[in-house]
Amino acid sequence: SQQGEEDPQALSIQEGENATMNCSYKTSINNLQWYRQNSGRGLVHLILIRSNEREKHSGRLRVTLDTSKKSSSLLITASRAADTASYFCARQNSGNTPLVFGKGTRLSVIA
């Protein structure tokens, strides 16, 4: 399969704790993107990290990319109940081409 693999499949943490989700892939990429999905419907784009970048930040989100290990991680700091959702990584081989999604990590943040 060309899909990425995320782990863990499910993660349950207390509000205020940090959540780390990992994504691995098998082929070379142009960029890797993280999305959030609430209630199994629309996806919200979180962060795009390009193959020549190692780390990006956006608010409480931090994404790292290690192309030598073909892996990426998403860190959510000081989690909130509203962060409860499924998180997907998606790799893109080149610009404006279809995304290849992993199966996602289901995050539950308990208040």
Partner 1 sequence: GAGVSQSPSNKVTEKGKDVELRCDPISGHTALYWYRQSLGQGLEFLIYFQGNSAPDKSGLPSDRFSAERTGGSVSTLTIQRTQQEDSAVYLCASSIDTGTDTQYFGPGTRLTVL
User: Which residue number, 44 or 82, has a Cβ lying nearer to partner 1?
Assistant: 44
What count of other Cβ atoms lies within 10 Å of the Cβ of residue 93?
14
CB of 46 to partner 1, least distance (A): 10
Q: What is the dihedral of CA 91, 96, 97, 103, to 10 degrees?
A: 30
CB of 88 to partner 1, least distance (A): 6
Asked if 15 and 79 touch (Cβ cutoff 8 Å), the reply is yes
Question: Whose CA is closest to 33, among 23, 42, 41?
Answer: 23
CB of 48 to partner 1, least distance (A): 6
Q: Which residues bind partner 1 (CB under 8 A)?
A: 3, 30-31, 33, 35, 40-45, 48, 88, 90, 92, 95-104
User: Which residue number, 68 or 96, has a Cβ lying nearer to partner 1?
Assistant: 96
User: Which residue number, 79 or 86, has a Cβ lying nearer to partner 1?
Assistant: 86
User: Which residue number, 33 or 72, has a Cβ lying nearer to partner 1?
Assistant: 33
CB of 78 to partner 1, least distance (A): 25
**CA atoms of 106 and 83, how far apart (whole Å):** 10
- Give the CB-side neighbour count of residue 77, counting CA atoms within 13 A: 7
